Amino acid sequence: MHPTQQFWDERFGTPDYLYGTEPNRYFQEKLEMLIPGCLLLPAEGEGRNAVYAAKKGWQVMALDLSEMGREKAHKLAQARGVTIHYELTDLREFNPKGELWDVIGLFYAHFPPEFRAETHRRLIQALRPGGYLILEAFHPSQLGRPSGGPKSLEMLYTIEMLLDDFKGMDVVTAETASVELAEGSGHSGAAEVVRLFLQKP
């Protein structure tokens, strides 16, 4: 088993939902501005964003390494009366052929620097022209806060870093924000985040 998979299986291996069962608020806000289509959610974990989007009429594909995450996502989908497609995938090996999705959502998907930029670029290649990327992640100033996030500075993101990764995308909004997270026990309290809403030309 991949060490990262083992880490997340252990974190998701409890009855409660680590990051809650309600969608990320930034995701919710942006998705409500868009016409439902095909949505990709890499590093989707326990399915809160996928299930919300499916309820809104989106065709959802979720990706993650964690079998426990997938199991809980399907359980949540069943409870909410929707269907999601969820594949167990290592994003370092995920290489979709063609421009397949109208929206890609990345929420607290923190990748090591050795494959972060390449993974981000492969993902936006899979967006259809006119498609959107919605992202929220922790800023370096989050380091040391108890409200969640990686414990390593190199795993945290600045706007400049991300805009370089997503070079060629048009910026609708790009901001840092101080927020109060209430996303289960995993994200709880004051936090510093980066938010991007980008469109593929």
Region 45-63 average pLDDT:
98
Region 119-132 average pLDDT:
96
CA 82 to each of CA 39, 52, 183: distance values in angstroms, whole numbers, following the listed order: 15, 9, 21
Residue 55: which domain range?
Answer: 3-199
The full length of the chain comes to 201
We report the CATH number of the domain holding residue 38 as: 3.40.50.150
Q: Say which residue, 97 or 178, is predicted with more confidence.
A: 178
Neighbours of 177 (CB within 10 A): 12
Q: If pLDDT is split at 50, 70 and 90, which confidence band does 3 have?
A: confident
Which tokens sit at 128?
A: 């259809």
Task: Provide the number of structural domains found in the chain.
Answer: 1
CA 128 to each of CA 87, 124, 176: distance values in angstroms, whole numbers, following the listed order: 20, 9, 26
Give me the chain's average pLDDT, please: 96
The amino acid sitting at 97 is K
Q: If pLDDT is split at 50, 70 and 90, which confidence band does 135 have?
A: very high
Provide φ and ψ at 16, rounded to 5°. -80, 165
Give the span between the Cα atoms of 111 and 94, in whole angstroms. 14
Q: If pLDDT is split at 50, 70 and 90, which confidence band does 154 have?
A: very high
Q: What DSSP letter does each residue of 75-142 carry, written as one string?
A: HHHHHHT---EEEE--TTT----S--EEEEEEES----HHHHHHHHHHHHHTEEEEEEEEEEEE-GGG
Instruction: Decide if pLDDT at 39 tops 90.
Output: yes
Instruction: Decide if pLDDT at 2 tops 80.
Output: no
pLDDT for res 64: 96
Instruction: Decide if pLDDT at 31 tops 70.
Output: yes
Give the span between the Cα atoms of 172 and 144, in whole angstroms. 30
pLDDT for res 1: 63
Ramachandran quadrant class, 70 (left: phi over 0; alpha: psi -120 to 50; beta: rest): alpha
Give the span between the Cα atoms of 84 and 106, in whole angstroms. 17
